[in-house]
Amino acid sequence: MDLERVAQRLAEAVAEALEADGAAVLLLEGGRLSLAASRGPHLGPAASDLDRQVMEEGEVVVVEGGHALPQGCAALACAPLQDEEQVWGTVHVYAARPGHFSPARLGRLEAVADLGGMAVGMARALGDMRAAQAKARFARVATHELRSPIAVAQSLLRTVLKGYAGPLTPRQQEIFRRVAGRLDFLENLVNDLLDLAAGRSPELDLDEQPVLLNASAGRVVLLLGPHAEEKGVSLSLHPCREELVVWASEEGLDRILVNLVGNGIKYTPAGGQVTVSMGQEGEEVWVRVADTGIGIPEESFPHLFEEFYRAPNARRFGTGTGLGLTIVKDLVDRYEGRIEVESKVGEGTTFTIFFPRWRG
Ligand code: ADP
């Protein structure tokens, strides 16, 4: 149920339960109280001192007589709307007759306001979840739509570069090669954005199950082997005899390792090495990707997992989007793991990911 309907039902329920002449629900929105729903005329001034007092003290307050009351109202009871997490607002109940709020009625007000606070908290949480889902869905659709024109442009460009559309002058060749390079970058960016959106999508939880880290590492080394070879980097896997089981999705685990091993290859000059090893220790399972590449400057450490961040030495070294490690961090957090990085400029980098060991 959405927040508006929850507030409306609450105003009606509280007026009926207390046989009152009117009721209003006020909710905090960006730090300010505003009227969310009312039953009967809404008499009270919004965000009064009374509301502040009730929200601070967390207790019902009754006001009878005096100029603080709105016209036509002889008694007003104000209760906090809260759950265990926080205060969401207040509920006002109005009576035309003094002495209306007997102890029995006030007991009922407390009970209804307690339930109302819980309902408002749940409706807010549901609203936040829906907004996150809609954002992730939008990013996925938008990125999909970007992918296909890039693929078409790449294939047209390949046709031209191979000379199928007629001979090219050396200058034209050079320009088209540069365009092809930028398109490859764009393709990587779109793929990374898609991965980022997918990783943040709550629906991904559905694929989570006990999965074998050994199998994932094997798949990724096989997948990226040709790329390493092409670059003249030696990629090796130190298998582990024990079965290393973690709670994750196969796709997510592969994505983590593709990014780490891919970075290892990218940031290691020809002649260097990238090694993948794994094991378990106590309640944790670990996988380590070590390279003998350019290393990461110390001042870049605090920024490594920020979106679009690239260290200065990497910018000189090759193209990248600065999204890979953000994707890795999102996924590792999702699987309740942690990341350790060790690196020395000019010597190499080691990323170790620890996951809680899954015991069925
Ligand atoms: P990118 O697309 O730039 O590789 P990432 O998010 O994967 O983006 O990594 C962020 C930055 O972290 C890189 O730009 C680079 O500066 C640094 N980095 C990551 N992995 C390595 C590595 N194995 N060796 C050296 N630098 C690395």
Q: What is the pLDDT of residue 44?
A: 56
Q: How far is the CA of 270 from the centre of ligand 1 (A)?
A: 17
Ligand 1 atom having least distance to the Cα of 311:
16
192 backbone dihedrals φ, ψ, rounded to 5°: -65, -40
Which pairing describes strands 61-64 and 245-248: parallel, antiparallel, or unpaired?
unpaired
Query: Measuring from atom 19 of ligand 1, which residue has the nearest CA?
Result: 263
Say how far apart CA 264 and CA 245 lie, in whole Å.
24
Q: How far is the CA of 198 from the centre of ligand 1 (A)?
A: 20
Q: What is the pLDDT of residue 233?
A: 97
Q: What is the pLDDT of residue 300?
A: 95
Cβ atoms of 160 and 291 within 8 Å: the answer is no
What stretches of the chain show up as alpha helix (H) in DSSP? 3-17, 49-57, 103-161, 170-199, 213-231, 250-266, 312-317, 324-334
Q: What is the pLDDT of residue 72?
A: 77
Say how far apart CA 45 and CA 91 lie, in whole Å.
13
Q: How far is the CA of 255 from the centre of ligand 1 (A)?
A: 15
Say how far apart CA 25 and CA 44 lie, in whole Å.
11
75 backbone dihedrals φ, ψ, rounded to 5°: -150, 145
Tens of pLDDT, residue by residue, the chain (360 residues):
688 899 999 999 999 999 999 999 999 988 888 899 988 866 655 457 889 999 999 999 998 876 667 777 889 999 999 988 899 999 999 998 889 999 999 999 999 999 999 999 999 888 888 887 787 777 777 777 888 888 899 999 999 999 998 999 999 999 999 999 889 888 888 888 877 877 766 665 657 899 999 999 999 999 999 999 999 999 999 999 999 999 999 989 999 999 999 999 999 999 999 999 999 999 999 999 999 999 999 999 999 999 999 999 998 777 888 999 999 999 999 999 999 999 999 999 999 999 999 987
Q: Which residues pair with 77 in a beta bridge?
A: 62, 93
Q: How far is the CA of 223 from the centre of ligand 1 (A)?
A: 20
Q: Could you tell me the pTM of the whole model? A: 0.65
- Best residue among 224, 257, 258, 263 to mutate for probing ligand 1's pocket (most ligand atoms within 8 Å of CB) is 263
**Inter-axis angle of helices 103-161 and 170-199, nearest 10:** 160
Q: What is the pLDDT of residue 311?
A: 95
Residue 136 beta carbon below 6 angstroms from any ligand 1 atom: no
Measured distance between the N- and C-terminal CA atoms of the chain, rounded to whole angstroms: 36
Ligand 1 atom having least distance to the Cα of 325:
6
Instruction: Please identify which residue in the block is written with the tokens 């909710």.
Output: 27
Residue 76 beta carbon below 6 angstroms from any ligand 1 atom: no
- Best residue among 268, 288, 296, 316 to mutate for probing ligand 1's pocket (most ligand atoms within 8 Å of CB) is 296
Q: How far is the CA of 229 from the centre of ligand 1 (A)?
A: 20
Say how far apart CA 344 and CA 167 lie, in whole Å.
48
Residue 199 beta carbon below 6 angstroms from any ligand 1 atom: no
Rg (Cα) of the chain, in Å, rounded?
A: 30
Q: How far is the CA of 263 from the centre of ligand 1 (A)?
A: 6
Rounded to an integer, what is the distance from CA 261 to the centroid of its chain? 24
